[in-house]
Amino acid sequence: MDHPKDTHLKSIGYILWIFGFTGAHRFYYGKPVTGTIWFFTLGLLLIGWIVDLFLIPSMDRQADLRFRAGRLDYTTAWILLTFLGLLGIHRFYMGKWFTGILYLVSGGIFGLGYLYDLWTLNDQVTLINGQP
């Protein structure tokens, strides 16, 4: 049986879980809807945040099955987005130079592009990793 390549790291998932009331770990694992809910409800009033401590291994397995490994590393892209996203550094990493420059001069297109990338970064990396 062919096992999926490890695209996401449990260690990063647990580190992001520390800030889980913001939904960070859910965005990382490709769950933007619940990530947004966690963000606006402080992790479902911290109850969902505590439950997620036990769900991270499952979310990690699901992400490994769903997303494609390749030349771009998901964790690197997520770290760049998290800490330098308003500057577009993650877009430069993905080879998207035009939008990287646009983010750089506009503060991540006034934050809206940053929010868009929180929702779509895993899919963007998967598309790039699927290219020959």
Which residue in the block uniquely carries the two structure tokens 């899919």? 123
Within this chain, do residues 32 and 54 fall inside the same structural domain, yes or no? yes
- 80 part of a folded domain: yes
Phi-psi region of 6 (alpha: psi -120 to 50; beta: other; left: phi over 0): beta
Within this chain, do residues 84 and 59 fall inside the same structural domain, yes or no? no
pLDDT recorded at residue 132 = 87
- 88 part of a folded domain: yes
- 42 part of a folded domain: yes
pLDDT in single tens digits along all 132 residues of the chain? 455 689 999 999 999 999 877 889 999 999 999 999 998 998 899 899 899 999 999 999 999 999 999 999 999 999 999 889 999 999 999 999 999 999 999 999 999 999 999 999 999 999 999 998
Within this chain, do residues 51 and 97 fall inside the same structural domain, yes or no? no
pLDDT recorded at residue 3 = 54
In the chain, the number of structural domains is 2
pLDDT recorded at residue 9 = 96
Within this chain, do residues 57 and 96 fall inside the same structural domain, yes or no? no
pLDDT recorded at residue 60 = 97
Looking at 23-110, list the stretches that DSSP marks H as alpha helix, in order from N- to C-terminal side: 24-28, 32-45, 47-66, 74-84, 89-93, 97-110
Domain containing 61 equals: 10-66
Q: Are 80 and 89 in contact (CB under 8 A)?
A: yes
pTM for the full predicted model: 0.88
- 79 part of a folded domain: yes
- 5 part of a folded domain: no
